Amino acid sequence: MTSKDGFFSKFNYFIQHQAENSLTQAVKLLRFVFIVFMVVYLTACLVSISNKLLEFIMVQGALDFHSMKILLTDALFTLIVLAIVKALFIHSSFDYALTFLEIAFVVIIRKLILLDTVPEENWTLLILGAISTAFFVLIIYIHNLKRQWLLHKSSQTPENT
């Protein structure tokens, strides 16, 4: 091997290492920017729903069904945004996937609540209901598995053996 080949391999290693570090830092920076954006957006959602609630109470006193449906829609949307913001702080890929399964469940439930119950939508309601049931069962099952894993892990610690 010539000194020229050694130089190129060292240079290539340096470029790859620097490029990987630079890209990793860029992704971390973009993640941080996105988290800040989502927190600001969540704050706007909370302010908006609070303003609507106060406005409805000032105008109507006791809320009617239409006003409550609007507030429920906004509250469920805000809950979805809150869950997404919470998921951005999770570093475990397992917990991250479980959180997005829970978000999908809330999105489907939101769609079920807002969907008009007309005969043309019966199959859609049935399918969304089945999917939301499957998601709910999956979420409960995974939480129980996780609890069992933690119990098994705690029984395997050196102080318990």
Tell me which residue range forms the domain holding 108. Answer: 92-161
Which 8-state DSSP code applies to residue 102?
H
Per residue in 95-152, pLDDT (tens digit) is 888 888 888 888 888 777 777 777 777 787 788 888 888 888 888 888 888 888 888 8
Domain boundary among 89, 115, 135: 89
What is the pTM (predicted TM-score) of this model? 0.64
63: amino acid identity, one letter: L
- Find out whether 71 and 107 touch, Cβ atoms under 8 Å: no
Together in a domain, 84 and 9: yes
Phi, psi angle pair for 89, to nearest 5°: -95, 0
* Integer CA distances (angstroms), 19 to 11, 15, 26, 27, 99, in order: 12, 6, 10, 12, 32
